[in-house]
Amino acid sequence: MQPIAAYELPRLRPDGPGDRWRVEPRNAALLVHDMQDYFVKAFEPPLRTALVDGVAGAVDWARRAKIPVMYTAQPGSMSTDERGLLSDFWGAGMDRRAGDTSIVDRVRPDGSEPVFTKWRYSAFVGNGLEWALRRQGIHDLVIAGVYASVGILTTALDAFNRDIRPFVLSDCVADFDAEGHAAALDHVARYSGRVLTLNELSASAA
């Protein structure tokens, strides 16, 4: 991955039709999306620190509230057939070594929290994520991680199409630049979900 220049994570968020939604803790889960060393180490400080701090705060909030925490992670060393069209845009991707595939220490699963294999932009493709949510009666999905304009946006749209309400944490996701970050949040707010900050989430779902 090429280095990603630091920018300030937004503390404000765009308004949209989803602003009437409130996270229902009894029917919610937190999705920690692709917070793997391969992706996160590309961010230059202080963006990397701000992102990890934000996602760690979201994980702490969910665990304290007894809200399920779920993860996605790419397997690494995927074959051309496994990667499909991803290869045309992103090349071979990460290796299957711990330095690439490992989830960042501060937000790592606790051992009981499931990790779903990430095959495509959407977190729902080719794994049991939707089944796990349905089985637990979850219809609110809080999303944190990377990248805002790719997997985060696509997962929010896919959740919406499955009648699962997506909540994207504006200060707990990051992108390749500030413009892409802002555009992704705006798209979610306009068309598929609610965008809010971690502080707003903590207050509204208390």
Kindly list the catalytic residues: 34
Q: How many Cβ atoms from other residues are within 10 Å of residue 110's Cβ?
A: 8
SS in 3 state form for 87-143? Answer: HHHHCCCCCCCHHHHCECHHHCCCCCCCEEECCCCCCCCCCCHHHHHHHCCCCEEEE
- In sequence order, which residues have a C-beta less than 8 Å from that of residue 79 and are 6 or more positions away? none
Place of tokens 């009894």: 26
